[in-house]
Amino acid sequence: MSIPSALPTLFISHGAPTTALSGTPAHHFMKTLHDLVPAAGIRAILAVSAHWETDQPMLGAATRPETIHDFYGFPQPLYELRYPAPGDPALAADIADLLNAAGFKAATDPRQGLDHGAWTPLLLGFPEATIPVLQLSVQPHRDPAHHYALGQALRPLREQGVLVLASGSLTHNLRELDRRGPQAPVLPWASAFADWVNAALTERRDEDMVAYRAKAPEARRNHPTDEHFLPLFVALGAATPGLPAQALHRSMEFGSLSMDSYRFA
């Protein structure tokens, strides 16, 4: 297998569980992920999902990670979806060692499966499910700087054929969603935040991003809590310093749920 010198890192806004089946622009974008990063060049995928929260960094080390349906009240076809990708326990242990060498207290969990933050973009982008996948947790009680440093420690993996795919949400205020549907009119406070993030990422103003709570417009309203934004900082930290991010997709659903996704070289 031919492995490129360094894979990019990705941040994907995975949206509601229904993204896996919907015909939204974000759904169609995720189906192009295999064109952006051809599977032939990927040894394994490290999925950093907002839906796995732990006190310290944890690596999923299941041989066959189960598909976790970590939601309720949705249409039955969603619960029938499976993503039967293999795991890679040995790689999980190696990544835990890499993080521990950088000062993080990382460990592995042989029981952890793939939650919908991980399997939604993978199911659409790499439907063959042949590439080994393992998850890395986020620490919701820690700040963006912690997750940025976590990404920096993971940077060598890119030269080993490991695709860092961070999955969260560019905005995430579920209380203010317009429940009329994905095509609801875009709310100004959400678009202002998404536009600020787009400028900061494409200009690689990493320090501003890490301090987004103080610098971004309507930061608290767009992210009452950090957990869905934290995966972005892992992808950003693992990226090559100084190189601008590429906006892969930009759209808004339910008035304020940004589906923006980015590629970092």
What secondary structure does DSSP assign to 133-194, as a single string? EEEEEE-TTS-HHHHHHHHHHHGGGGGGTEEEEEEE-S---GGG--TT-TTSPPPHHHHHHH
Residue 3 included in any domain = no
Residue 166 included in any domain = yes
Residue 128 tokens, joined = 């063959």
Residue 86 included in any domain = yes
Q: β-strand 44-53 against 162-168: which pairing, if any?
A: parallel
Q: Which band of pLDDT confidence, cut at 50, 70 and 90, is reported for residue 40?
A: confident
Task: At 107, give phi and psi (nearest 5°).
Answer: -150, 175
110-154 residue pLDDT tens: 999 999 999 999 999 999 999 999 999 999 999 999 999 999 999
Q: Look up residue 18 and give its DSSP letter.
A: G
Looking up residue 182, the CATH number of its domain turns out to be 3.40.830.10
Residue 4 included in any domain = no
Q: Using the predicted structure, report yes or no on whether residue 1 has a pLDDT greater than 50.
A: no
Q: Which band of pLDDT confidence, cut at 50, 70 and 90, is reported for residue 38?
A: confident
Residue 2 included in any domain = no
Residue 1 included in any domain = no
How many distinct structural domains can be found in the chain? 1
By three-state DSSP, how is residue 237 classified?
helix
Average per-residue pLDDT for the chain: 96
Domain housing 201: 9-264
